[in-house]
C-alpha cells in the first residue's frame, strides 16, 4: 500500500526550490552551463543589439527573433537571442 503525504504550499515551494538548486549544482559539477534559462527584457535586447525599440518591434513583427509576451512585457530567451545574433553574423574576409 502506497503512502500519501499532505504538505503545505510553502513546503511544496521549498521542495521545488531545493530540487532545482540540486539540479543546477549537478549540472555545474558536470561542466554543464545552462544560460538558456535566462530571459532578457526588451530593454536589454535593444541595448545589447544597439537598436531602437521600434526596430525591435519590427524584428518581432517580421518573426526574425523569437519572443515571449507576458501581459505587456516582452522577453527573449537567451538561447533565442544568441541564435538571432549568430544568424545575423557577418564573416570576416
Within-domain flag for 5: no
- The count of domains in the chain is 1
Its pTM stands at 0.59
Which pLDDT tens digit goes with each residue over 11-69?
888 888 888 878 777 766 666 555 556 899 999 999 999 999 999 999 999 999 999 99
State residue 22's pLDDT score. 82
Within-domain flag for 10: no
Within-domain flag for 27: no
Within-domain flag for 21: no
Domain CATH number, residue 43: 3.90.105
State residue 34's pLDDT score. 57
Residue 76 burial (10 A CB sphere; 0-12, 13-18, 19+): buried
Confidence check: pLDDT of 80 > 80:
yes
Residue 71's domain spans which residues?
Answer: 35-87
State residue 32's pLDDT score. 53
Within-domain flag for 72: yes
Which pLDDT tens digit goes with each residue over 4-14?
889 898 888 88
d(CA 37, CA 79): 8
Amino acid at each position: 500500500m502506497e503512502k500519501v503525504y499532505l504538505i503545505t504550499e510553502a513546503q511544496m515551494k521549498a521542495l521545488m526550490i531545493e530540487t532545482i538548486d540540486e539540479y543546477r549544482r549537478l549540472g555545474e559539477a558536470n561542466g554543464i552551463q545552462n544560460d538558456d534559462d535566462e530571459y532578457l527584457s526588451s530593454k536589454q535586447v535593444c541595448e545589447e543589439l544597439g537598436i531602437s525599440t521600434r526596430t525591435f518591434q519590427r524584428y518581432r513583427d517580421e518573426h526574425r527573433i523569437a519572443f515571449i509576451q507576458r501581459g505587456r512585457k516582452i522577453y527573449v530567451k537567451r538561447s533565442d537571442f544568441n541564435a538571432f545574433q549568430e544568424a545575423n553574423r557577418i564573416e570576416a574576409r
